[in-house]
């Protein structure tokens, strides 16, 4: 009997020890998990603050290099660029890209909702294999400066956030200036100044309407299309851009923006 009681007490004692150990492990795991969550939270918060400060900084300072430029280098396409000030870009270059890429640029808040709806309807139609985009100049600038090429929803979500931020912090003129400095305008050619020098051996400010329209014509696919060897599609697009430039030349809102 004494042996049985001793054995029973020993079992109860061991049970209590295991219960205490289990409880201690649970508490330790909970604290460890909380520490990990805290580190993740602090990391994300730091990332957000750094990104926010970078957006503010780039209102005045050109980004040294973009992920798209790095991609061009890694693909062996090279990198030609020459950042210039807004006043050095010339009226025709600014007018050409607005007519080509985003005629509602002076009016919208970063997004052309009508074009987005049309693009969604088009892309949901199975008879169309080619994906149609609806990105504004603001969206393209946000992507070029802060993000990377791609069509996944995560990148698109970041693009929406950065588009809202640069519309709010930068303003239209800075967005257009940055776009004209960082947009790819040929294989490994970035910015209107580099493009003007490469294609026409002149500064961007000296581009004629036709010359600016040729550069703007290849913007949807600057690696695929060539100003030097234009396809029939590119000829049609160039002529359409020139007509749009003639129609919008003198538009009060556009002129106030590009003056």
79: its two tokens: 């990198």
**Range scoring the smallest mean pLDDT among 51-55, 113-117, 145-149:** 113-117
> What is the CB neighbour count within 10 angstroms for residue 172?
20
What's residue 82's pLDDT? 92
pLDDT value at residue 26: 67
Q: At what angle do helices 91-101 and 209-217 cross, to 10 degrees?
A: 40
Question: In this structure, what token pair is assigned to residue 224?
Answer: 């695929």
pLDDT per residue as tens digits for the range 33-64: 677 877 888 888 888 899 999 999 999 999 88
The pTM score is 0.81
Helix (H, G, I), strand (E, B) or coil at 184: strand
Model confidence over 63-93: pLDDT tens digits? Answer: 889 999 999 999 988 999 999 999 999 999 9
CA dist 230 to 16, 25, 87, 212, 224, Å? 83, 70, 29, 14, 10
Residue 20, pLDDT > 70, answer no
- In the chain, % of residues over pLDDT 70: 81
Reduced to 3 states (helix: H, G, I; strand: E, B; else coil), residue 166 is helix
Quick check: 10 pLDDT over 70?
no
Spell out where the chain has E strands: 80-81, 189-190
Q: 80 forms bridges with which residues in the sheet?
A: 189
Say if residue 247's pLDDT is above 60: yes
- pLDDT greater at residue 176 or residue 2: 176
**Mean pLDDT over each residue of the chain, to the nearest integer:** 85
Per-residue burial over 89-119, b if 16 or more Cβ lie within 10 Å, else e, is: bbbbbbbbbbbbbbbebbebebbbeebeeeb
Q: Which of 3, 8, 2 is nearest to 16 (CA)?
A: 8
- Per-residue pLDDT reduced to its tens digit, 204-240: 999 999 999 999 999 988 988 989 889 999 999 999 9
Q: Tell whether the model's pLDDT for residue 203 goes beyond 80.
A: yes
């Amino acid at each position: 009997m004494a042996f049985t009681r001793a054995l029973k007490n020993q079992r109860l004692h061991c049970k209590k020890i295991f219960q205490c150990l289990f409880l201690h492990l649970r508490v330790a795991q909970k604290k460890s998990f909380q520490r990990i969550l805290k580190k993740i939270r602090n990391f994300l918060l730091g990332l957000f603050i750094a990104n926010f400060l970078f957006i503010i900084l780039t209102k005045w300072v050109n980004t040294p290099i973009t992920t798209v430029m790095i991609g061009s280098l890694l693909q062996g396409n090279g990198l030609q660029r020459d950042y210039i000030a807004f006043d050095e870009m010339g009226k025709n270059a600014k007018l050409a890209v607005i007519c080509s890429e985003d005629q509602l640029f002076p009016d919208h808040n970063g997004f052309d909702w009508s074009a987005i709806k049309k693009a969604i309807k088009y892309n949901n139609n199975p008879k169309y294999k080619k994906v149609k985009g609806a990105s504004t100049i603001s969206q393209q600038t946000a992507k070029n400066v802060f993000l990377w090429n791609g069509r996944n929803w995560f990148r698109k979500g970041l693009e929406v956030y950065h588009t809202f931020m640069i519309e709010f912090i930068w303003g239209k003129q800075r967005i257009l200036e940055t776009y004209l400095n960082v947009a790819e305008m040929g294989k490994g050619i970035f910015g209107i100044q580099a493009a003007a020098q490469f294609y026409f051996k002149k500064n961007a400010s000296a581009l004629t309407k036709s010359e600016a329209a040729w550069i703007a014509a290849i913007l949807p696919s600057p690696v695929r299309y060539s100003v030097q060897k234009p396809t029939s599609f590119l000829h049609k697009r160039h002529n359409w851009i020139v007509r749009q430039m003639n129609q919008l030349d003198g538009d009060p809102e556009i002129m106030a923006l590009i003056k």
